[in-house]
Chains A and B, each alone.
Chain A
Amino acid sequence: MENEGTVGLDCNFELKEVQKLEGHTDRVWGLAWNPVTGLAGVPSVLASCSGDKTVRIWQQAAATGSWECKAVLDETHTRTVRSCAWSPSGKMLATASFDATTAIWENVGDDFECVATLEGHENEVKSVCWNSSGSLLATCGRDKSVWIWEVQPGHEFECVSVLQGHTQDVKMVLWHPSIDLLVSVSYDNTIKIWAEDGESDDWHCVQTLGDSFSGHSSTVWAVSFNSTGDKMVTCSDDLTLKIWDTSLDLTASGSDSSGLWRHLCTLSGYHDRTIFSVHWSRDGVIASGAGDDTIRLFKEIPSDVVNGPSYNMICKKEKVHSMDVNSVQWHPKVPTILASASDDGYIKIWELKAIS
């Protein structure tokens, strides 16, 4: 299904800038909200990583509601930090760098200490992600491989498996929100789904979403699952967003991960530059950030039994940054808060509001 550049009927939302966070001295590549903050009196915490080789931790002050830089994680990575991810417990932060290592940091009081360094990739690591139980970590990089690590007591990490299959740079890895299914997206234009055969450390590719599945025609930069995990959205250099859904029965316990994903919908005609980042909020709003310095928001409109679900753009915000938008991330607990990071070195916090 194509939504060809028509402005959706309910484009009556706007993004209001809450604050601009300054501090990084080079482009900001990635953002990660601490998943256990922002609720029940716990101030929201956001991590950002940059080409300046550092990671900054930002916290929202309870009294004023304004954001401050609480910590700078430096003197560890020797090159750009490309991606960061909090463990599900919020206690550890993994940072992936162009220096081919992934560092694991632990929050000790107000400080962060690097407690482990994972080596293995031959060159730049592009993305890192924890699974839903926090027992596994996945990394991917320019060496075309995806590494799966098991988290062990005493900050030990053991390599479980190295997944080879992509023929080019792997841009991002993401675990499914509830089952141990891993998705990777690459410069080779494909999306690969990986699953374990039994409990034998035997991971293999169960599906490749490429041409034959109505896949992307250029580099796929990012992927995001909806909150229930039955749909995912990918964004690409081909200027489109694609929605995929699965026949997996996620409600059955001990889910068999062999269900296949199929193409549901392609959103094209919106961005006119590479879409670098996409994130699906708990409320079902898809945010996309692109090389055209714009953020767009989409929402599913109730599905028609005949045609299936389709998506409308509900908001478009231009010139959100003066350069490429590298990352957009919704707040995990407050679904109207969005953070964006850019090549311009700034991070912006936004609030989604209905236009009165």
Chain B
Amino acid sequence: MAIVLLSMWNTLTVYRSYCRISRVAIMGDPATDDIFDSSLSLEDDHLKEGYNEGFEDGKILGKQEGKDVGLKLGFETGEELGFYWGCVNVWNAATRINPDVFSSRVCKNMKQMEELLDKYPILEPEDEHIDEIMASLRLKFRIIASSLSVHIEYNGYPKSSEGNTIGF
């Protein structure tokens, strides 16, 4: 009799646990969120997660790309400006040795070129006048070179297509 009662009690306990688990499974624990909520917002969650991951990765990639572009453009600009500075310095040196070596008109153009070089906002790549000043510099240089009948040209940084012609 006791064994029957005991096995009945076990079965009942098991059955009650089962019911409790089932009830929790079907209706959820009232103390926490409805478990189906997370499946309804699944798409949104995945989107947000993807976006955030992309954003973080993009920040890193973008910074690297910006750095590369800045370095390339900065080098090209610096090289061109340096070339013009070099020319102006040579011309000034020549004028110091012989003040009459160049005509007054050419001297005026050289002075204007020096002023443009001083004015170039080297630390402000976002300055709206930057392209204008560079265009004026290039034109001034061509005018002076033409008036001196000199065949010098600033060829710019060698493009990759011309890379094969560089020898060491």
Contact = CB atoms under 8 A, between A and B. Distances in A.
A201 B105 contact: yes
Contacts of A119: 145-146, 149, 151
B147 interface: yes
Interface in B151-166: 151
A158 interface: yes
Nearest to A157: B147
Contacts of B106: 158
User: What is the predominant secondary structure among interface residues of chain B facing chain A?
Assistant: helix
B105 A120 contact: no
B124 to A, nearest CB: 25
A40 B146 CA distance: 40
A119 B106 CA distance: 15
B105 A118 contact: no
Nearest to A200: B108
Contact of A162 (B103, B108, B143, B151): B143
Contacts of A118: 146
Contacts of A150: 105
B139 interface: yes
A114 to B, nearest CB: 13
Interface in A311-342: none
A104 to B, nearest CB: 12
Of the candidates A120, A122, A159, A164, the one having the most CB atoms from chain B within 10 angstroms of its own CB is A159
A36 B139 CA distance: 37
A167 B105 CA distance: 27
A158 B103 contact: yes
A160 interface: yes
Nearest to B153: A119
Given A118-B146, A119-B146, A162 B105 contact: no
Given A118-B146, A119-B146, A120-B146, A158 B139 contact: no
B139 A162 contact: yes
A150 B146 CA distance: 12
Contacts of B105: 150, 158, 160, 201
Interface in A113-127: 118-120, 122
13 contacts: A118-B146, A119-B145, A119-B146, A119-B149, A119-B151, A120-B143, A120-B146, A122-B142, A150-B105, A158-B103, A158-B105, A162-B143, A164-B139
A-B residue pairs, 8 tightest by C-beta:
A120-B146, A158-B147, A159-B143, A159-B147, A159-B146, A119-B146, A120-B142, A158-B105
Interface of A: 118-120, 122, 150, 158-160, 162, 164, 201
